[in-house]
């Protein structure tokens, strides 16, 4: 099943392997993609993935996590993204973009610099901090800046900001867009009762907490071509006391489906600590798969499973068990960009390496022969 096509609206995924959105912090200060992004994403398409997501493309510069995030807040950012989508499509993969606003988790250093808040030292290097905005004035973590609480009028403008970004994504040649509603970023911070302490109209009840997410989905679906599928990434559980539980996310998924969302990308956590949540110690392989299973069954909506899915047979079993429709890989493809090609070989679908690009196939066959010879 891992290599069966999947039809989503008017788009056909050639297989069920997706490269998950992963921030890489390699854009310039204007949010422009470059040759590094072309190579980074292109190798996953040549490596056998059927659906390749960009990192979260920032819809508003105030919503950048770092100075090195890729953007989609201006038309000037379209041409380098178009170069990437053209290449991905030429390799047989479906190009996909995640639309992202970091909310209170903005104005940070890059991942390998510790993700701490930008300060005067950074300003002296040409990267001054800016004022993040969020659902409230509370810090997500002590090492981040205190955000400014958005006014209701500012919140009401966010759906159109995402819609304009979706229009640019269409012009840039993407066939799938995903809304980032997870990991403590802007949309998730409105969804979670832990972070959302507002009153009406955007807080105070489960329905009000869902309002921003639903308004964004509705606005994007209105401008995103009807033939192209819309995904939403959710933190299906917060993993902290008083936070979102899976039942909340099932209810939200029902509402998102009614607004034209096609797939829920099922992640977890991020409100008070890491960007993933496991209630029983260090995450185990496939620890988020049960969320994809429950939403798929109870909301009758396609799901994408993500989180320490490492081996081909593990991915195949998730699909055969009916737990998800798509398998999303992150760190596993960073380690092995040819994960998809290797998986086809391991599952017995490509014994002669015929799926490999011609410049590689003959050499890999020779490697197989050498291994077989002992």
**Residue positions annotated with a catalytic role:** 185
Write out the two tokens for 184.
Answer: 């403590």
Instruction: Give the Cα separation of 192 and 178 in Å (integer).
Output: 19
Note whether 328 and 315 are within 8 A (CB).
no
Distance CA 307, CA 289 (A): 8
| 208 vs 196: CA distance, rounded Å | 10
Q: Burial letters for 126-149: b for 16+ Cβ neighbours within 10 Å, e otherwise?
A: ebebeebbbbbeebbeeebbbbeb
Query: Nearest CA to 74 among 142, 179, 164, 135?
Result: 164
3-state secondary structure of 264: strand
CB 139 within 8 A of CB 61: no
> Cα–Cα distance between 171 and 77 in angstroms, integer?
11
**Residues 301, 261 contacting (CB under 8 angstroms):** yes
Q: What is the dihedral of CA 210, 216, 220, 222, to 10 degrees?
A: 70
Residue identified by tokens 């590094």 is 36
Q: Is the separation of the CB atoms in 103 and 63 below 8 Å? A: yes
Residue 112, classified by CB atoms within 10 Å of its CB into exposed (0-12), middle (13-18) or buried (19+), is exposed
Q: Confirm if 264 and 45 have CB atoms less than 8 A apart.
A: no
């Amino acid at each position: 099943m891992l290599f069966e096509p999947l039809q989503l609206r008017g788009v056909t995924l050639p297989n069920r392997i997706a490269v998950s959105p992963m921030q890489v912090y390699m854009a310039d200060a204007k949010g422009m993609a470059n040759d590094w992004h072309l190579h980074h994403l292109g190798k996953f398409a040549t490596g056998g993935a059927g659906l390749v997501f960009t990192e979260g493309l920032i819809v508003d510069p105030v919503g950048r996590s770092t100075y090195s995030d890729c953007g989609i807040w201006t038309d000037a950012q379209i041409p380098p993204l178009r170069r990437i989508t053209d290449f991905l499509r030429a390799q047989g993969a479906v190009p996909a973009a995640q639309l992202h606003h970091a909310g209170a988790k903005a104005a940070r250093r890059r991942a390998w610099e510790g993700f701490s808040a930008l300060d005067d030292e950074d300003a002296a290097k040409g990267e001054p901090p800016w004022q993040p905005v969020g659902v409230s004035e509370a810090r997500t973590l002590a090492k981040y800046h205190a955000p400014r609480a958005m006014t209701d009028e500012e919140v009401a403008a966010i759906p159109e900001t995402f819609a304009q970004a979706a229009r640019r994504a269409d012009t840039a040649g993407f066939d799938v867009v995903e809304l980032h509603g997870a990991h403590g970023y802007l949309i998730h911070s409105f969804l979670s009762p832990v972070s959302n302490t507002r009153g009406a109209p955007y807080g105070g009840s489960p329905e009000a907490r869902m309002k921003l997410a639903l308004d964004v989905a509705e606005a994007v679906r209105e401008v995103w071509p009807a033939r192209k599928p819309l995904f939403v990434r959710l933190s299906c559980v917060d993993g902290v006391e008083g936070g979102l539980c899976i039942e909340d996310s099932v209810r939200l998924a029902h509402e998102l489906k009614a607004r034209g969302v096609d797939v829920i990308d099922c992640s977890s956590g991020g409100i008070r600590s890491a960007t993933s949540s496991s209630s029983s110690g260090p995450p185990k392989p496939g620890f988020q798969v049960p969320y994809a299973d429950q939403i798929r069954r109870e909301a009758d909506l396609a799901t994408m499973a993500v989180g320490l899915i490492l081996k081909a047979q593990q991915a195949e079993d998730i699909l055969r068990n009916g737990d998800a429709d798509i398998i999303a890989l992150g760190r596993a493809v960073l380690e092995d960009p040819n994960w998809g090609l290797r998986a086809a070989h391991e599952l017995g679908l490509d014994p002669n390496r015929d799926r490999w690009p011609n410049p590689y196939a003959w050499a890999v066959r020779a490697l197989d022969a050498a291994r077989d010879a002992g």
